[in-house]
A and B are shown apart, each in its own frame.
Chain A
């Protein structure tokens, strides 16, 4: 089946930029997503990108997509302690039916 991989942990200092990376195997992905999950909570949609785009910016968030390498990244500028959470990369190949999620990257923001 299709697979999505992420590094499991990332630590940054408050005020620095965070970059969370994701690779996927499905060459027919149509949309790619970043979700945030705080302890004991459901998933909050942060942003998503259509596969024919290579960049999307939304306030402190910048998503970069390299479709050739099947690589997606999420950059969080001026990272704050409230950004500490698990970040999931996900993709869908059929316009929003079943999503395939990565294992999540736990972001720790140090004061």
Chain B
């Protein structure tokens, strides 16, 4: 079983629709992140959360919102989807460094490919 699970894996929808992408993890990590990947632009940070009560905007948060429902769940919403939000979306997790005593790398899910027509 995957440690970081993203659903759905693929989604095609129309402009103006509300969409939710979900991420769940079994790694017990406190920190969770949402990225989008576009060709030629690498991965860009949308939102991140260090615990259930902590939500922070990333580099490109406009047009997106998030909810951290539990330590293991972090969802990303597009309130009114537009075509330039077509991208590959990744969720990632990492442990709190103070718990492990050292920094550890972020661990990624398999991604959600989202197409907005």
- Bound pair: A and B? no
